[in-house]
Structure 1
Amino acid sequence: MSDLAPIDAFVADLPKVELHVHLEGSMRPHTLMRLAAKHGVAGVPSSPEELAEWYEFSDFEHFVQVYLQAVEVLREEEDFAALTADVAGALAAQNVRYAELHVSLYTHLMRGIPASTVFAGLEAARLEAERTSGIRLRWIPDFPGQFGVESGTETLDAVLAHGPDSVLGFGVGGIEVDRDQFEGLYGRARAAGLRSLPHAGENSGPRSVWSAINKLHAERIGHGIDAMRDPELVAYLRDTQLPLDVSPTSNVCTRGVASLEEHPLPQMVEAGLKVTLNTDDPPMFGTDLLREYRVAHDLGFDDAGLARLAGNGVDASFLPDEEKDALRAEIDATLARHRAPESATEVPR
Structure 2
Amino acid sequence: MWKKIGLVVLIILISVGVWQRELISYGWMQGRGQLQILWNTRPVAEVLADPAYPDSVKHKIELILEIKRFAIDSLGLDKSGSYESFYDQQGKPILWVVTGAAPYQLVARLWHFPVIGTFSYKGFFEKDRADEQVKELKQEGLDTRIGEVSAWSTLGFLNDPILSSMLDRPVGSLAELIIHELTHGTLFVKNSLEYNENLADFVGEYGALRFLAYKYGLNAVPYQNYLATKAFYDRYDAHILRGTRTLDSLYRTFKPQLPLSVKDSLKWQTIRAIVVSADTLTDARQANRLRSVKKRRLDKLNLPNNAYFIGYLTYRKQQNRFRQEFESRFRGDFKRYLSYLKQTYPSL
Q: Which band: TM-score by shorter chain?
A: under 0.3
Tell which structure's C-alpha radius of gyration is larger: 2
TM-score (normalizing by structure 2): 0.25
More helix by share: 2
